[in-house]
Amino acid sequence: MARDQIDMTPIETRDELVAWLEAGNKPKAQFRAGTEHEKFAFSQKDRRPVPYEGARGIRKLLEGMQHLLGWEPIMEGENIIGMFDVTGGGAISLEPGGQFELSGAPVETVHQTCSELMAHLAQLREVARPLDIRFLGIGMTPDWTRADMPKMPKGRYKIMTNYMPKVGSLGLDMMYRTCTVQTNLDFSSEADMVRKLRVSLALQPVATALFANSPFTEGKPNGMLSFRSHIWTDTDADRSGMLPFAFEDGMGFERYVDYALDVPMYFLKRGDRYIDVAGQSFRDLLAGKLPGAPGERASISDWANHLSTIFPEVRLKRYLEMRGSDSGPWRRLPSLTAYWIGLLYDDDALGAAWDMVKDWSAAERQKLRDDVPKLGFKAAIRDTNLLELARETLTLSDAGLRRRNKRDAKGQDESGFLRPLQEFVERGITPAEELLDKYNTVWNRSVDPIYNEYAY
């Protein structure tokens, strides 16, 4: 989750909200990609989650990282809850259950994403090893219960924890027991944003299958390949989903603003203080009539923070966030960025991908999204299945990356980063099915070996 914004410039009109989003437009030469990934911290000694406090806790880990990197700490009261790199734009933050997140800096190439990831993991190991902490890259904790999960000292999470059970049965699992990998990509104009949003929404289930990696709950198979993706179907219908309106005539920044205005708020932040306004309307805040904070007026910070509490499969801010994928082993993480860059940053690939999905109905898109957590590559739409869609989109992405021709010091382009995904497609299985096969054979129906084989 991104750190809370600090810009108290007042806003009073819907047009100002639209203009804020529109300011994300940038020339193609300035396109960047940011990669975010989460991982579970566990104690090497007993394979249990790591609490915030204590001699070997998350706080010590953050303090060690801050000392090593020299990044600015993000404090909430007396507690360090993250840090950011003033020069490069990267950040480290905590998810509600102590999931450790790197929000990568905006970079030009997947090679740089990979280098950033390698550096982050090396730095993390250096600080974590003396604390007996290791990390697990997977979409959902394989054996910890909700009650096992520690709580991080962040005001926004306390408000969300109280609100989630009112709007869905799985929101607390989303907060405390899942990890994702995301990539954030740019657009050049409103029309470019709309086309990229539509293509990436329609194809998000393909990415869900390619990265499906959460088949266990509390030590047993849960009947899903991506339980993390399934969790989102019963978290909060007001703020998640496939955004069918995005495919309707007239879609643009204004339409997204109207959608966001109708999503209930979680909180207002004033200084270090979080004001619980869960369920209340940003429209009322805009008018200065918010019941939970009488007389408070909306600011740029409030709007940016509100947008960060909306969780559709693809989220619009001043860039587009791809949100459909489970976290996984480090080797696979740059593959997500490569997949979407190849599809969305190359005009030919983007046009071909739009041709693939443009005739699908909202009901067909929704069914594909609902089926994929359980069926993976076997989920079908019309006369094709997700395995075939994965194969076709990887071919398009591969060609897009080759045409981009961004080469590293060894002269290699970015297409090599697709290899981990291509290998699963060639085998016809998702990563989750590989885990389940190991569980049923060499792991003797135990998830314990995952803490060795899949740990960072």
Burial level of 240, CB count in 10 A (0-12/13-18/19+)? Answer: buried
Task: Specify the CATH number for 14-453; select among 3.30.1240.10, 3.30.1700.10, 2.60.40.10, 3.30.590.20.
Answer: 3.30.590.20
Where are the domains positioned within the chain? Answer: 14-453
Chain centroid to Cα 72, Å, comes to 23
Torsion sign, CA atoms 432, 114, 124, 100: negative
What pLDDT does residue 1 have? Answer: 40
What are the pLDDT tens digits along the chain (456 aa)?
444 556 888 998 999 999 999 999 999 999 999 999 999 999 999 999 999 999 999 999 999 999 999 999 999 999 999 999 998 999 999 999 999 999 999 999 999 999 999 999 999 999 999 999 999 999 999 999 999 999 999 999 999 999 999 999 999 999 999 999 999 999 999 999 999 999 999 999 999 999 999 999 999 999 999 999 999 999 999 999 999 999 999 999 999 999 999 999 999 999 889 999 999 999 999 999 999 999 999 999 999 999 999 999 999 999 999 999 999 999 999 999 999 999 999 999 999 999 999 999 999 999 999 999 999 999 999 999 999 999 999 999 999 999 999 999 999 999 999 999 999 999 999 999 999 999 999 999 999 999 999 999
Residues 6+ apart with CB under 8 A from 345: 28, 31, 185, 400, 404
Asked whether the beta carbons of 35 and 104 are under 8 A apart, the reply is yes
DSSP 218-237: TTEE-S-SBHHHHHGGGT-T
What is the reported pTM?
0.97
Classify strands 33-43 and 100-103 as parallel, antiparallel or unpaired. antiparallel
The percent of the chain in helix, strand and coil, each rounded to the nearest 5, is 45, 15, 35
Three-class secondary structure of residue 390 per DSSP: helix
From CA 18, how far away is CA 13, in angstroms rounded? 9
List the structure tokens of 206. Answer: 């393909």
